[in-house]
Amino acid sequence: MAGSKRLLIGLGNPGETYAATRHNAGFAVVDALAERARATFKNDGRAGALLAEGRLRGRPVVLVKPQTYMNRSGSAVRHLIRRYRFGPAEILVIVDDINLTLGKIRLRERGSAGGHNGVQDIIDSLGTDAFPRLRIGVGSDFDRGRQADYVLSPFTAEEQPIVDEVLTRARDAAVTFVTDGIVTAMNRFNRGKSG
């Protein structure tokens, strides 16, 4: 499996309205990966996604931003897995997480959606939860019943330095997944801010 292509999927909502919101942290990481790979996104109508193909440390990658809105991300992922003949272990889903404090990231090999509708739609579409994911903490500083407003709001000016740092760490964790696999990436980056 080493040296084979990897599919890196950032979850978010399309359009300028959502571009800088907490819910689009996955898109932000994939954008950073595209910059690192010197890859340009192109619209793929059949997949319902923006795709960019390039290399990270010499390894081929397909970077994906589904354009189906967060809660319908699974159809694009299922289509691309079939097209490129990926196994679930060869993809990395990159997603925001209100259950992690701002500035934290966590990698997992598999598991439940943790209340995230985008991840749940991928699980439902693939019929398995056995795919790696990279969760980016966006905090949970919202009143009861205001979760949607919170995740669809931008980061504050005070939060931005922390956000910039965590997005860089998330990008580096994704590159490590590509080059060394999920277990090495977990061991290196799941140890808090120093990882």
CA distance 46 to 115: 28
89 falls within a domain: yes
Please state the pTM of the whole predicted model.
Answer: 0.93
* Residue 86, pLDDT score: 92
Known catalytic residues?
23
* Residue 192, pLDDT score: 56
CATH assignment at residue 137 = 3.40.50.1470
1 falls within a domain: no
57 falls within a domain: yes
Residues in the chain predicted with pLDDT less than 50, given as ranges, are: 1-3, 193-195
* Residue 3, pLDDT score: 43
Looking at the 3D structure of the chain, how many domains does it have?
Answer: 1
164 falls within a domain: yes
43 falls within a domain: yes
15 falls within a domain: yes
CA distance 67 to 40: 16
110-136 burial, b if ≥16 CB within 10 A, otherwise e? eeebbebebbbbbbebbeebebbbbbb
